[in-house]
Amino acid sequence: MKKLTRRTFGRWIGAFAATAAGKSLFPKPALGGAKPRAVVIGGGAAGATAARRLAEDFNAINVTLIEAHRSYASCFFFNRYVGGLRSLDSVTHDYRKLSSAFGIDTIHAEAAGIDAARKTVALKGGDTLSYDRLVVAAGIDFKDGLIDGYDETVAETLTHAYKADRQIAVLKRQLDAMKDGGLFVYHRAPKGPTGARRRPTNAPPWPPIT
Ligand SMILES: Cc1cc2nc3c(=O)[nH]c(=O)nc-3n(C[C@H](O)[C@H](O)[C@H](O)COP(=O)(O)OP(=O)(O)OC[C@H]3O[C@@H](n4cnc5c(N)ncnc54)[C@H](O)[C@@H]3O)c2cc1C
């Protein structure tokens, strides 16, 4: 079995797009009609890569990316920022290049619902977007109120720094201010829904990559 890496994931997306084009997963536009539209929800590492690969490899479809925020700070590499090796800016990306270089139509809004029967995505604020194919790459997020006394307000000082947002700057400031020999309390990542912290060794194999 091949290992799933970022590179192989990128190839996967390419293969998906190739299949989409080859087997007409996207409807053919009527003569002079609008191109079929792929909509990607979430402009994180996964969604932005998927959108880019679709737009880069296929001129015959329009790609629209729906992303709630105007910039994306990657969690990977943020340890280099915390360690003083990189600036926060250098791990923060906006979406301009996806539009200018790859023609992706980026909409900064929150997707509020998907109607799979009608093939539409409802945006918070009321607009609706239709799609021919949809990629959902919204990542994971916190559920507020699950830990007594711990909410996003407390997290401003007792930071979880699990999101690459301003909490990381708080964490870095706190670490920088710490005197030698200071006390750092760290709680390891909680268990996942299956009770496991890591993918179990007897888990079914990842789908084959061709
Ligand atoms: C502290 C930390 C350190 C990490 N370090 C590493 C590392 O060193 N190496 C590594 O490989 N991985 C690391 N990871 C994991 C890595 O960050 C994730 O695997 C990766 O971010 C997942 O990408 P994603 O695109 O699936 O989700 P995300 O990066 O979470 O992106 C999801 C995007 O979807 C958007 N979104 C969500 N809901 C909506 C909606 N309704 N409408 C519109 N937009 C929406 C969000 O705004 C976000 O931009 C780390 C993670 C953490 C938390």
Nearest to 141 by CA among 125, 109, 164, 119: 164
Positive or negative: CA dihedral 173, 179, 180, 186: negative
Pick the more confident residue, 9 or 39: 39
Q: Which of 44-48, 71-75, 154-158, 186-190 has the highest mean pLDDT?
A: 44-48
Tokens matching residue 79: 């340890």
**DSSP states along 113-127:** EEETTTTEEEETTS-
**What pLDDT, on a 0 to 100 scale, did the predictor assign at position 138?**
96
Tens-place pLDDT, residues 78-117: 889 999 999 989 989 999 999 999 999 999 999 999 999 9
> Where do the domains of the chain lie?
6-139, 144-182
If you measure from the C-alpha of residue 27 to the centroid of ligand 1, how many angstroms do you get, rounded to a whole number? 31
Q: Which of 33-37, 56-60, 131-135, 171-175 has the highest mean pLDDT?
A: 131-135
The answer to whether 86 and 141 are in contact (CB under 8 A) is no
The angle, 0 to 180 degrees and rounded to 10, between the axes of the packed helices 45-57 and 6-22 is 40
Tell me which residue has tokens 């947002």: 165
Closest approach atom of ligand 1 to CA 69:
47
The DSSP code for 187 is -
Q: Is 162 in the pocket of ligand 1 (CB under 6 A)?
A: yes
Question: What is the three-state SS of 42-101?
Answer: CCCHHHHHHHHHHHHHCCCCEEEEEECCCEEECCCCHHHHHCCCCCCHHHEEECHHHHHH
Distance (Å, whole) CA 205 – CA 131? 31
**What pLDDT, on a 0 to 100 scale, did the predictor assign at position 49?**
96
Tens-place pLDDT, residues 132-155: 999 999 998 877 778 888 887 887
CATH superfamily, with its number, for domain 6-139: FAD/NAD(P)-binding domain (3.50.50.60)
If you measure from the C-alpha of residue 22 to the centroid of ligand 1, how many angstroms do you get, rounded to a whole number? 31
Q: Is 73 in the pocket of ligand 1 (CB under 6 A)?
A: no
**What pLDDT, on a 0 to 100 scale, did the predictor assign at position 4?**
54
Residues in the chain: 210
Q: Is 139 in the pocket of ligand 1 (CB under 6 A)?
A: yes
Closest approach atom of ligand 1 to CA 110:
42
SS3 of the chain: helix, strand, coil, percent, to 5: 30, 20, 55
Nearest CA to ligand 1 atom 18: 75
